Every structure is written in C-alpha cells, then in structure tokens.
Amino acid sequence: MHDSIVPTDPDFYKKLLDHVGNGVYFVDRERKILYWNEGAYRLTGYKAEEVLGKCCQDNILCHVDHLGNRLCKKGCLFSACISDGGVHEANIFLRHKQGRRVPVTVQVRPLRGADGSVIGAVEIFSDNSAEIDAGRKIEAMNRMAFLDHLTQLPNRRFLDMSLETALCEFQVHKDPLGVLVLDLDGFKGINDSYGHSCGDRALQEAAKTLTGALRPTDIVGRWGGDEFLAIVRNVNLESLSELAERSVVLISETSVPVDNEKRVPLLISVGAALSRPGDTPEILFRRADELMFRSKAGGRGRATTE
C-alpha cells in the first residue's frame, strides 16, 4: 500500500488553485489583494502582477449590479463579509480589462486566523453567460452565414428571419413580444478621434456587454453600422422597459482602452416597442427606431419605451 502524500510546499496549493476554472482571489482586512489565480486572469484580463498589492476599493473590476450601482463604493461584498463573518453571494457584472461588462456569479467567504477572528476574505467568481451554448450558436450561425464577424453576434439576415418568425408566433399564440433598437452614441466621433480600430473595439465590447445585459432567451444582433437590434419574447411593458434601461446603464459602465492611460466611455440610445396585432417586421422596427431617435433627441444615453 502506498503512503499517503501530504503536500507541504506552498507552491503546490498555488498551482492547484491556478488549475481551477473559477476566479479566486484573497484580500486582507483592509481589502488589499494578496492572491490572484489564473482563473481570475482568464475571466478579467488582469494578470496577477497588475492587481497584487492594490485594494479592491480602487475599483479595479468596477463591480456593478444590474441597476448600475457601483458596489465597490456601496454594497461591497468583501466589506460585508469581513464585518459580519458571513458568506455573501450575488449575481453582478465586472468590467473586463478590455472594457466590456461580464456577468458573474460571486461568492465571498471569510478567512479566519488561529483564534477564529476574521483576517480577510476570499472571493470565488465564475462567468454565468453560458459561453458553451453561445459558442455552439456561433458555430451554427457561421455555417449558415448568419454571423456578423466583427461582433460575433447574429447579423441582419438572421435578425430579419427571427423577427418575422417571432411576429408570426405572436399573431397565432399571442405570446408577448418586444423589440429594442440600440444605437451607440458618438460612434463617428470615436472613429474620427481614435481611428477605426478603436471604433471596431467599441462595437465588440458593446456587443459583449449587451449579450450579458439581456436574458439568455433574448436575441441580440448587429443590425448594421453602430446599431443593434434585440428581439425579446415573453415581456410586458414594465419588463421591456427594465431590459432597455439595464442595457443603457451597463453600456454606460463600459469603456474601450485607447492607451495605458486613457479609456473612451460608451453610451447608447435605446428605443423599445411592444408588438401589436397586425404589425409587420417593418412597422414594429420603425416604431422602435423612432423611439430610439427620441432618446437621442432627449440627450442620448437613455431609453424610451412607448
């Protein structure tokens, strides 16, 4: 019989955590980051050397909830955990190094010293955006020429077909249906000031943020240029408005890096319309599009629901 192996090398445990798919990091009572595993790097884009020694309240990941409230300033799970010694969980959005918002499930647990006192906390977080299913959809759409290659979202051809199908189902089964028209504000200025490569990154990061902001059952794609279209089923006016507002808030928390010192913030204007009996795809889209232009006229970076 083999003797049991009891690892004594601290590096063993570091390597072990680096092989965990989830992001893991530790902080002390002052919320200074003491450890950052490879999973945290994969999910956030930040390497350990970029964050070790910094405090989470420096707003590195800029955690926000679905309403856009900045949790590092109010509602920090680390602060609550260190204060009450309890386990805290939440579904929130972190900001990736590239600027997009990533939906994550977070669990924070206390770290205790030999005397039982809380000496810090550990956060374990994972991406909950169903990347595997999304990858399969992308592969299928690629085969059928339904993919916008810049944003990796459904293209206009796919959106046209999906909207027509959804409206047919609405006319027969009366299942409620909504449409969001989402247009990036100031996109021409980004291209003119920082170049088309920056404009492309803005579209890519906006696409990823919108995918996380909407529900898994919703379809969001690139309609053309700097305009996106979302087809949302099983909604009423209140939930449609909530999705539109959430998209605005999370895009406003998204930015694109220009260099090591500067980031370009993004804004989006949204128009949201519910389907009506007798609607054609053209009529429903035009109604949402007019509401989107009303948002732009009202100051941009906002949503208008009929």
Domain ranges of the chain: 10-127, 131-305
Characterize the bridge pairing of strands 88-95 and 101-112: antiparallel
Which one is catalytic: 218, 226, 279, 289?
A: 226
226 carries an active-site annotation? yes
Find where tokens 């000031």 sit: 193
Cα–Cα distance measured from residue 272 to residue 103, given in angstroms and rounded to the nearest whole number: 23
Beta carbons of 268 and 182 less than 8 angstroms apart: yes
Pairing mode, strands 268-274 and 303-305? parallel
- pTM to 2 decimals? 0.71
Show pLDDT as tens, one digit a residue, over the chain (306 residues).
444 444 556 666 677 777 777 899 999 999 999 999 999 999 999 999 999 999 887 778 888 887 788 887 788 899 999 999 999 999 888 889 888 888 888 999 999 988 989 999 999 999 877 654 666 666 666 656 788 989 999 999 999 989 998 898 888 778 889 999 999 999 999 999 999 999 999 999 999 999 999 988 899 999 999 999 999 998 999 999 999 999 999 999 999 988 777 899 999 999 999 999 889 999 999 999 999 999 999 999 999 998
Q: Is the fold of 10-127 the same as that of 131-305?
A: no
How far apart CA 76 and CA 58 sit, in angstroms, is 12
Return the CATH number of the domain spanning residue range 131-305: 3.30.70.270
Q: 1.10.760.10, 3.40.605.10, 3.30.450.20, 3.30.70.380: which CATH number matches 10-127?
A: 3.30.450.20
| C-alpha span between 185 and 279 (Å, rounded) | 28
